[in-house]
Structure formats: structure tokens, C-alpha cells
Amino acid sequence: MHGTPKEIFSRVDELKKYRMDVPQVTMLADALIQKGVPLPKGILRREELVDALCQLS
Amino acid sequence: MSIKLENISYVYSPGTAYEHHALKDVSLEIPQGQFVGIIGHTGSGKSTLIQHLNGLMKATSGKLLYEGQNIYEDGYDMKKLRTQVGLVFQYPEYQLFEVDVLSDVCFGPKNQGLSKEECEKQAREALELVGFPEKYYKQSPPFELSGGQKRRVAIAGILAMHPKVLVLDEPTAGLDPKGRDEILDQVKLLHEKTGMTVILVSHSMEDVAKYVERLIVMNDGEKMLDGTPEEVFRHYKELEAVGLAAPQVTYVMHDLKEKGFDVSADATTVEEAADEIYNFLKKRQEVQS
């Protein structure tokens, strides 16, 4: 697996399988995507997540 | 039934240039069966505090009552206390020494004077409680196991003495994320199964927030905060001021609130935060359509 942090951390399930940790913010974004909230993949920072959520209407 | 600390203070090397007040007037009560997390950064007094719980360290001043009895009274049965309050140190796997796993776990009950059969019975139950696979009970010297497995064996060594209180000092230090989750899940399971008091020492807020019902925050030898994870993380600014942080999700929820989202900022785990945000978005959508 290689790529930018954004690319790598958009693969939450795979990372967990390989016993790796994912930032909590990335996990939260992933959990929301699973529930059907249209967020971009690979969110790493808290500001990114907050911005993305604010842009939803 | 509880452990009660009344104004406990502890001073290292009193009267010397190295005098250090590790605990300052700490009072708290832990009722039987509670799952408690103790957090604080290095040097905050967490480890000193828990070593008081089974009388390994004696307070410079103050009283410690176990099940209503002052353990500092003359003639108090310290040996019995130490079998009832089981302390698992950091990196306990370094203390494994026997020829195989089962003998190692038998060591505690053997010292309690139990027969060989009883020791084995309690050891097997303990290994089962920590989810250790039976096929390795006899075969391997414990040193050849993986880090996570060794730690299970070490915890089982304490459980085999049937303690009423289990104290774990940084039980996940040095484990990878999956090993960490497995150990903590197992501890939670055994708390549910046995009704034991479990006291978990950690410096990771995110780890403990998921598991415990009560958090005690230590700072510079003092009890700084004490409450449910929700209550404690409401003080996230004070936590920051002393070099600790609330879980990342707590910050996200506060940010969203500031931006006008009608969400509760009390979520302390990913699942709680996801539910809270999702429910808000859904409600908003329903209002709009």
C-alpha cells in the first residue's frame, strides 16, 4: 500500500485489517459515509470534517 | 464494599533534596463492581496512587479503608488484602518465569496455600477468562508467545487468585492497535462476567473513554476531575491546560456546535458522535422537505 496520507487513510477497513490505527476523525467520517452521508473520502483533520459537514445542506 | 481513600498524601524521600509530593490530599471512593479509568500524564501520580490500593506503598498521611477497615491499623491482614486487590504492573509479561503457561498462572493460588488440583482449576478458569487458547497451556515456555498473549497470561496470573478488585497499570502499553483493542475488549468482558471492580490506568483518553463508566483525572499529585467520561470531557479546555486532551471527536462536536449545529457535545466515542451528527442531519432534512 502506498500513496499520499489522504489516499492511504481513505482505506479505513483495509488499514484496520492490517492492525493499523486510523485517526479518530477519519473513523468518524467513515462511519458517517457508511450511514449514507455524502462526505469526501480520506478526511484527516478535524477542520476538514467540520468544513465538509457545514457544506452539506 | 468499597475502597475508600481519605486525604491520602505520599511524599518521596521526605526531608531530602529529592523530596517530592507525589500525592496530595487525595480522597475518593470506588464502590465494588465499578469500571474506573485513571488518567493523567507521566508523573501525575497515577502509578503511585494505585500502588496504595493494595498496601504496596503506605501513605505518608491519610487513611485507606478497604471494605470499611483501615488497612494501616496494627494487625491488618496485608497478605489477604493483596490477594483481594490484584495489581497488574506495566509490562507484566517480564514477570513470567515458569516452564509453561499453566504453571506460571498457578503460582498465585499456590502461594495462597491451595491444593494442586484447586490451583490448576483456578488457573484454567483464569486463562479462559482472558481468552487464552487452551492448546498452548502446556506446550510452550511463556516467553515464546506474542506480546499480547504474554500479557494475557500475566493478567490470568492475577485473576487466578480470585481478586475482588483488578488494577491494571497501562495494560496496552507497547501493543499494536489491534492487540490493544483485543486486551481492552477482553477486560470489559471479564468485568461483565465477574462483577469485579476494574481500575484501568492509562494516558490515552480515547482508549478509556470507550470502556469505563467513571474517569478520575490525576494532575500533579492531585485529583483534578472525577466523573463519567461525558462529564470529564466537558472540561476539555482545562484538560488541555495540563497537557491532556479530550478525544478528537469531542473537539469535532464542539466545533459543530459553534457552527450552529444542534448537536450535543457530550459524545466521547466515534459511534456516539456519528449517531449524534447523523440524527441531526436527518432531522434537518425532514424540516427542509
| Residue B147 confidence (pLDDT) | 84
Q: In chain B, where are the structural domains located? A: 247-289
CB contact under 8 A, A46 and B255: yes
Nearest chain B residue to A56, by CA: B281
CA-based max dimension of chain B: 74
For chain A, the straight-line distance linking the first and the last C-alpha, in angstroms and rounded, comes to 35
Please state the ipTM of this predicted complex: 0.89
Among the partner-chain residues B178, B249, B277, the one whose CB lies closest to the CB of A24 is B249
For the CA atoms of B8, B223, B27, B30, the dihedral, rounded to the nearest 10 degrees, stands at: -120
Contact B128, B159 (CB under 8 A): no
Residue B20 in this model has a pLDDT that exceeds 80: yes
Mean pLDDT of chain B: 92
Give the DSSP H or E segment for A55: helix A46-55
Mutate which: A17, A20, A46, A53, vs B, most B CBs within 10 A: A53
pTM of the predicted structure, to 2 decimals:
0.87
CB contact under 8 A, A28 and B270: yes
Residues of A in Cβ contact (< 8 Å) with B179: 19
Residue B274 in this model has a pLDDT that exceeds 80: yes
Residue B140 in this model has a pLDDT that exceeds 80: no
CB contact under 8 A, B252 and A49: yes
Residue B27 in this model has a pLDDT that exceeds 90: yes
Q: For the residues B160-180, what does the mean pLDDT come to?
A: 90
| Residue B249 confidence (pLDDT) | 92
Rounded-to-integer distance, Cα B137 and Cα B123, Å = 10
Q: Which of B149, B156, B158 is nearest to B129 (CA)?
A: B156
Closest Cα in chain A, distance from residue B257 (Å): 10
Q: For the residues B226-254, what does the mean pLDDT come to?
A: 91
Rounded-to-integer distance, Cα B202 and Cα B187, Å = 14
| Residue B141 confidence (pLDDT) | 82
CB contact under 8 A, A28 and B259: no
A27-36 pLDDT, tens digit per residue, is 999 999 999 9
Lowest mean pLDDT, pick from A15-19, B27-31, B164-168, B240-244: A15-19
Residues of A in Cβ contact (< 8 Å) with B261: 53
Mutate which: B184, B208, B277, vs A, most A CBs within 10 A: B277
Rg of chain A over all Cα atoms, to the nearest angstrom:
11
Lowest mean pLDDT, pick from B42-46, B192-196, B203-207, B251-255: B203-207
| Residue B288 confidence (pLDDT) | 79
CB contact under 8 A, A25 and B248: yes
Cell 490506568: give the residue.
Answer: B201
CB contact under 8 A, A19 and B273: no
Q: For the residues B134-160, what does the mean pLDDT come to?
A: 88
Give the DSSP H or E segment for A28: helix A24-34
A residues 16-35 lying closer than 8 A (beta carbon) to B: 16, 19-21, 23-25, 27-28, 31-32, 35
Q: For the residues B29-55, what does the mean pLDDT come to?
A: 94
| Residue B125 confidence (pLDDT) | 93
Give the DSSP H or E segment for A12: helix A12-17
Q: Bigger pLDDT: B205 or B170?
A: B170
Q: For the residues B105-128, what does the mean pLDDT come to?
A: 94
